[in-house]
Amino acid sequence: MTNPSAASLTDDLIVDILSRLPVKSLCRCKCVSPHWCDLISDPDHRRRLLQTVAGFFLSDIDNGREVWRFTNFGEARQPPLICTPFSFMPGYEDVSIVDSCNGLLLCRPPKGSPHHVSRYVVCNPATKNWVVLPDSGSHGDDKPVVARLGFDPAVSLQFYVFEFLDHRHGTVAGVEIYSSESGAWSYKESLWNCDTNLLDDSPSVFLNGLLHFSTLQSEVVAVDVEGEVWWVLPAPEPDDPDNIDDRSDWYPGFLGQYQGYWCYMPMPYNDRDLSIWVLESYGEDE
């Protein structure tokens, strides 16, 4: 018999209650009724509801073999979820992980491999689905310097791969962008400052259709999935700027996202203080 109290709840109240549940309980709630399943899966609600376990992967060694362990923010350390070689990708078992974004992994075959010409493989280790990307061709004589993955399942199941090309000494000449929808690459020249410098380990985050980077020039830069919008914003000042003698002492801060907002954490210059900045408005740079 249907509970009359539960039946009287509006959709807004149900979504508000569901937003307070851990991800495992939320998945179980999809089985309550087709209506609840639709509410949880609705793109308008996905940003409020936990759709995946929040955490990160760590590389580890188990009996002389590399494994990837998942650490959940809310629970104790989990057993290995991913083991390399990737046995579910025949011919691409020994790939290395280049980047990750919302459950997808951007991988690269090792040099010397007969599959190295493809350069990139995108896979979902949970579903064991994978896609081999065509060669980007690397525009002109410029060399790839940084590769990143863009994927937001709350918006679309489409993913993007960004391959930034080195003009000289790490400065960005342009970007090759792969779209899973078209299955092809497109090249766009950089509209960032001519001295914008990216490193292979430059902090980055994909949010609101933009790939953001923290740079050596004390800036945060971003480019959209079409390569049409090239955005530059001065990074927030570090906690103790007086400790920086010159800009060569600057190190890019950490980028992240929280509840749909872009966050920046400067490198602390003492052992006590830590500041986190949140961008409230793209249009006003606040």
Give the domain range for residue 269: 136-286
Q: Which pLDDT does position 149 carry in this prediction?
A: 94
Whether residue 93 lies inside any domain: the answer is no
Instruction: Find out whether 177 and 185 touch, Cβ atoms under 8 Å.
Output: yes
Residues 151, 281: one domain? Answer: yes
Distances (CA, A) of 158 to 135, 161, 187: 19, 11, 18
Q: Which residue has the tokens 């310097």?
A: 145
Q: Domain boundary at 13, 30, 46, which? A: 46
CA distance 256 to 275: 13
- Indicate the SS3 state at residue 186: strand
Whether the model pTM is above 0.75: no
pLDDT tens sequence across 204-260: 889 889 999 888 777 888 999 999 999 888 877 655 555 544 444 556 678 888 777
Q: Are 149 and 140 in contact (CB under 8 A)?
A: no
Nearest Cα to 134, choosing from 142, 122, 151, 152? 122
Residue 184 counted as domain residue: yes
Q: What are phi and psi of 117, to 5 degrees?
A: -60, -30
Are residue 42 and residue 141 in the same domain, yes or no? no
Residues 144 and 277 in one domain: yes
The answer to whether residues 145 and 285 belong to one domain is yes
The answer to the question of residue 77 being in a domain is no
Task: Report in angstroms the alpha-carbon separations of 112 from 83, 95, 98, 115, 255.
Answer: 22, 12, 17, 8, 34
Q: Which residues contact 55 (CB under 8 A, 6 or more apart)?
A: 70, 71, 72, 73
Q: In Å, how far from its chain's centre is CA 79?
A: 23
Q: What is the largest CA-CA distance in the chain?
A: 72
In whole angstroms, how far apart are CA 216 and each of 20, 42, 220, 221? 39, 40, 9, 11
Whether residue 37 lies inside any domain: the answer is yes
233, 189, 229: which is closest to 210 by C-alpha? 229
How far is it, in rounded angstroms, from Cα 219 to Cα 213?
8
- Contact criterion met (CB below 8 Å) for 165 and 139: yes
CA proximity to 208, closest of 124, 282, 100, 275? 282
- Are 148 and 106 in contact, with CB atoms under 8 Å apart? yes
**Rounded distance, CA 254 to CA 203, Å?**
6
| Residues in the chain where the model's pLDDT stays below 50 | 1, 76-78, 80, 140-142, 244-248
Considering the domain architecture, whether residues 175 and 279 belong to the same structural domain is answered as yes
Do 167 and 277 lie in one domain? The reply is yes
- Is 153 within 8 Å of 51 (Cβ atoms)? yes
Q: Determine, yes or no, domain membership for 14.
A: yes
Among 46, 64, 79, the domain-final residue is: 46
159 and 277 together in one domain: yes
CATH of the domain at 255: 2.40.128
Residue 285: partners with Cβ closer than 8 Å, 6 or more residues away: 233, 279
Residue 171's identity, in one-letter code, is T
- For residue 150 the two structure tokens come to 């863009």
pLDDT for the residue 237: 67
Say yes or no: 150 and 278 in one domain: yes
Decide if 221 contacts 192 (C-beta within 8 A): yes
In a domain, 88, yes or no: no
Are residues 40 and 155 part of one domain? no
In a domain, 226, yes or no: yes
**Residue 89 is assigned to a structural domain of this protein:** no
- pLDDT tens digit string along 42-69? 777 766 665 555 666 666 676 766 666 6
Total domains in the fold of the chain: 2
